[in-house]
Each structure stands twice: as structure tokens, then as C-alpha cells.
Amino acid sequence: MIRATLVPMQNWLNFTLRNISYLGKMSIDFGIRIKKDAQIPNSQGSLVRTEKLFWFLNVGEQMFMDSPLRMTGVDTYLTGLLASP
């Protein structure tokens, strides 16, 4: 069971990363929203803005990445969707 806990803003990122790692260790499927300006690893391991991975999508299109990216120790499958320009 995961409890909802209020945490100070400066601890939010560490709190979130610990919970994501926990979900991965327990083999619990989950989804999170990553904003377009978030820094994520590309296939070479370099950090890039999320929008750069999905720059070619048109409004309403989506793309599922076939291979996972390693984020916070968890294999993560990304899906890109362009809702509006």
C-alpha cells in the first residue's frame, strides 16, 4: 500500500523518485505525465528535453517507443502525444 503524504516542495523530487523506484521493484505498472520541457535520457543516455524526442508529431498524433529508457533505475516506456501546438 502506498500512503499519500504531504512533503515540502524541496523534498518533492526525492520523494517522487523513491516512489517510482518502489513501484518498479514491486512490478507495479504505472503512468506519469512528463511535461515537454522535462530532461529525460535519449537512447544514447544524453539528457534531452522531452519535446525533442517527439518533435515530428502532428496535433492529435501519438507515438509509442518500442524500447524502454532507463529512468531512476526503472525501465520506462514513453508515449508521446501532441494535444496542441
DSSP SS3 for 84: coil
- What are the angstrom distances between the C-alpha of 74 and each of 17, 34, 57, 68? 10, 15, 26, 9
In the predicted model, is pLDDT for residue 7 greater than 60?
Answer: no
pLDDT digits (tens, 9 = 90+) for 26-81: 888 777 777 888 888 877 878 888 888 888 989 989 888 888 877 767 777 888 88
Which has the higher per-residue pLDDT, 2 or 38?
38
> Are 41 and 69 contacting, i.e. CB atoms less than 8 angstroms apart?
yes
The whole-model pTM stands at 0.55
